[in-house]
Amino acid sequence: MNLTLFLLATIALNITPGPDMLYVVARSLGQGTRAGVVSALGIGVGTLVHMAALAIGLSTLLTKVPAAYDAVKYVGAAYLAYLGLRTILSKGDTLDHTLKVREQASLPRVFGQGILTNVLNPKVALFFIAFIPQFTNPDLGPIGWQVLLLGMIFNTSGTAVNSSVAFLAGSLGDKLRLNKRVARVQRWFTGTVFLALATRLVWPDSQS
């Protein structure tokens, strides 16, 4: 196991903007720092699900059974599209409305949405199937435990990066929401990001 190389690759991948980071940014701008951080934690839990599946070999179903891959992919895309449309169609643009939205969208709910967004993206599972095993070594013990260890390291780094992004985007969002016009644009931006992620998930030429 080349831990140094793995750490360098992990840091490089986690600081590169991707769907998870965009999701956290959208949540942070739309509902504030706490919602962004909670989303990052939810994504982290979703990643643990992928890691556990990879460790026990279930993720290989996504490569051997095309129907299973397609089913998870389209369910995930539909869920993101639902979040995007609901955000865009929500009424109101003022700060008072935004605060009411924060109260309605409880943190446990935001946390659960973060988990689902990650778990229902089969490309995440396929990414880990391709990435994690490269750094395992049968001579060092059971591969399953090595996958879990490397996955925890990757996930901890990713959650830290996404949480930092949430703090930055949330702080900016709190200031922008004071302006009625900007709040309207912000709502459309958040919803559009969700819709774009849904499209990216099912578009044949998109990358994970």
pLDDT tens for 47-100 read 999 888 888 876 677 667 778 777 777 887 887 788 778 877 775 543 344 434
Q: Are 167 and 37 in contact (CB under 8 A)?
A: yes
Q: CB 65: neighbour CB atoms within 10 A?
A: 11
| Segments in the chain forming alpha helices (H) | 3-14, 19-31, 33-55, 61-64, 66-89, 95-104, 107-119, 122-131, 143-176, 180-202
Residue type at 133 in one-letter notation: P
Condensed to tens digits (0 to 9), the pLDDT of residues 168-198 reads 888 877 666 555 666 677 677 777 877 887 7
Q: CB 187: neighbour CB atoms within 10 A?
A: 23
Q: How far apart are the first and last CA of the chain?
A: 25
Instruction: Specify the pTM.
Output: 0.70
